[in-house]
Amino acid sequence: MFSNLFPLLAWWKIKKSLKFQGFLFKIYKYLNNINICFVIFYLIKNTNTIFLVYFL
More confident position, 6 or 30? 30
What average pLDDT does the chain have? Answer: 67
* Angle 32-35-41 from CA coordinates, rounded to 5°: 145
Dist. CA 14–CA 36, nearest whole Å: 27
> Does residue 11 surpass a pLDDT of 60?
yes
Domain boundaries, the chain: 17-55
Q: How confident is the model at residue 56 (pLDDT cuts 50, 70, 90)?
A: very low
Prediction pTM value: 0.33
In sequence order, what are the residues at sequence separation of 6 or more whose Cβ sits closer than 8 angstroms to the Cβ of residue 32?
Answer: none
Dist. CA 41–CA 20, nearest whole Å: 32
